[in-house]
Amino acid sequence: MTSKVTYLSALRTQAEHLKSGDIIITDAPVDNKGKGEAFSPTDLLATSLASCMLTIIGINAQEKGYDIDGTIAEVTKIMDSNPRRVGEIQINLFFQRSYSEKEKKLIENSARTCPVSKSLHPDLKQTIIFNYGH
């Protein structure tokens, strides 16, 4: 088992990662009857995509002898209605240094083929922008 999720009350859950004991609290967003005081489940979906991209990019960079330390991902989740679902995830990646064209190609391929990206429904639009340092 990976995690245990408990419904606390008032549209709030607590997720525990069983191996580490780390806790994540979720709250329904204000546009869906919640207080918006924590990540919503759909926020976590979008955030998971960015975390996965950075992890896979980091693994490949480490294997090739360069780093992505300090890279920031800014995540925007756009909801659709009818049915209510995440319609688009926009991720702006900000790298703190310059890379060769070969490294950029590896970075961009790593981001677009991370396991979370490949697990999402093809109708969910993934807009990824790569910003490299100078």
DSSP string, 52-89: HHHHHHHHHHHHHT---TT-EEEEEEEEETTTTEEEEE
Q: What is the pTM of this model?
A: 0.94
CATH fold for the domain made of 41-131: GMP Synthetase; Chain A, domain 3 (3.30.300)
d(CA 76, CA 88): 8
- Parse the chain into domains and list their residue ranges: 3-32, 41-131
d(CA 110, CA 63): 12
CA 118 and chain centroid, separation: 13
Residue written as tokens 């429904």? 121
pLDDT one digit per residue (tens) for the chain, 134 residues: 999 999 999 999 999 999 999 999 999 999 999 999 999 999 999 999 999 999 999 999 999 999 999 999 999 999 999 999 999 999 999 999 999 999 999 999 999 999 999 999 999 999 999 999 86
Which residues, 6 or more positions from 83, have their beta carbon under 8 angstroms from its beta carbon? Answer: none
